[in-house]
Structure 1
């Protein structure tokens, strides 16, 4: 009787494509949500009247963020599967921890803003509603801008380092990730002016995903030929 042999990991063959699809989904949903959100709450707006004016836009943006977070988690899982036994344990730990912290703080900020919309709608007193708006917006921005962006920067540095060490992607993509991450980590200024910096993460992941899809397609064509 022959011993049972481990089945080949056929799923690893589809890992690059799965990671690319997850990355594109995350980038598309996250960029759309952030653009809607930041456009509805410009930096020079200090009154709570903006909540009523752009309530529908804010609601759409907030509802897209949970699905973007799910796609991001899928992207992380597929990337780790792709690296396999060649991944560095130290940077893999930082990669996983910073990614989970980013999603946790992003979801927290989203929940705060969603609660703000509901409280503002149910409060008949305009002065109390204005205080809800001021406290909720400041709290959500502090979480996302001051902490989630920096966690995203650490995630980009660890991810770029893993790609650089394993050689699964061109070096220029890793160096680009380092540069964008440094801006996210060390650019200090007024909290509202930094809102658009968070888009560096999805744009970088989108670039990686498109490259992976193109490279995977080229490899398939060469195999057929």
Structure 2
């Protein structure tokens, strides 16, 4: 009989969480860009587009929750041989990303609730999301790609893709409109790969005769 921990190793639901995270975050980014198409924090939100910000703020908490499951799926996929230094950067950047994402959403919600939003409030919320959160996302992508390359659990093209995406997010940040979509796009590709590998491994593993039917 297989140990119970083997059965819990990277459940299919955790892999699906990565897909859910990428889709939710992409939707939130698109909605924010609809509300502020110029990408300028000082641009006031038009009254007829406030709904886009409200919907985005409702989506962000769920995106953060699914991201934590996504992190767990990646750690289980890389196994126990991960480098401790890089793994610390991986975990730290992931947790800071979620914290910054939630802080940006809370700040934006406060600004949205004001009848006359202040320029400082808009700038603060936008800077947290577009600058600091995306920088932490860049570090997370780079750390994940480094772990995958060192352990050989990711194919070389996928590791190179992650390195390129991480460097782009780190360098250009919010300077290029819609560049934030690189992060959820990378997460979607990586989640699909992990699911495909796990499905293939399950098909190749013969059933244990001692397991109950």
Q: TM-score range by the shorter chain?
A: 0.7 to 0.9
Between structure 1 and structure 2, the one with the greater Rg is 1
Q: 1:138 to 1:195 in 2, by over 3 A?
A: farther
* 1:47 positional shift: 5.3
Q: TM-score, normalised by structure 1?
A: 0.82
Q: TM-score, normalised by structure 2?
A: 0.86
Unaligned runs of 5+ residues in structure 1 are: 1-5, 121-128
Which of 17, 27, 47 is the matching residue for 2:12? Answer: 17
* 1:82 positional shift: 3.1
8 Å Cα contact 2:97/2:136 also seen in 1: yes
Residue 116, structure 1, aligned to residue 101, structure 2: no
Q: 1:44 to 1:11 in 2, by over 3 A?
A: closer
Which of 186, 189, 208 is the matching residue for 1:204? Answer: 186
Q: What is the aligned partner in structure 2 of residue 82 from structure 1?
A: 77
Residue 146, structure 1, aligned to residue 131, structure 2: yes
8 Å Cα contact 2:138/2:166 also seen in 1: yes
C-alpha distance in 2 between matches for 1:80 and 1:71: 14
* 1:186 positional shift: 1.5
What's the CA shift string for 1:7-26, capped at 9, x where partnerless? 4522354x163442111010
Which of 213, 220, 223 is the matching residue for 2:195? Answer: 213
Aligned residues: 205
8 Å Cα contact 2:35/2:45 also seen in 1: no
* 1:145 positional shift: 2.0
Residue 92, structure 1, aligned to residue 87, structure 2: yes
Q: 1:82 to 1:26 in 2, by over 3 A?
A: same
Q: What is the aligned partner in structure 1 of residue 99 from structure 2?
A: 104
C-alpha distance in 1 between matches for 2:165 and 2:80: 28
Residue 30, structure 1, aligned to residue 15, structure 2: no
Q: What is the aligned partner in structure 1 of residue 211 from structure 2?
A: none
8 Å Cα contact 1:83/1:166 also seen in 2: yes
Report the structure, 1 or 2, having the larger helix content. Answer: 1
Unaligned runs of 5+ residues in structure 2 are: 207-213
Bigger mean CA offset, 178-187 vs 61-70: 178-187
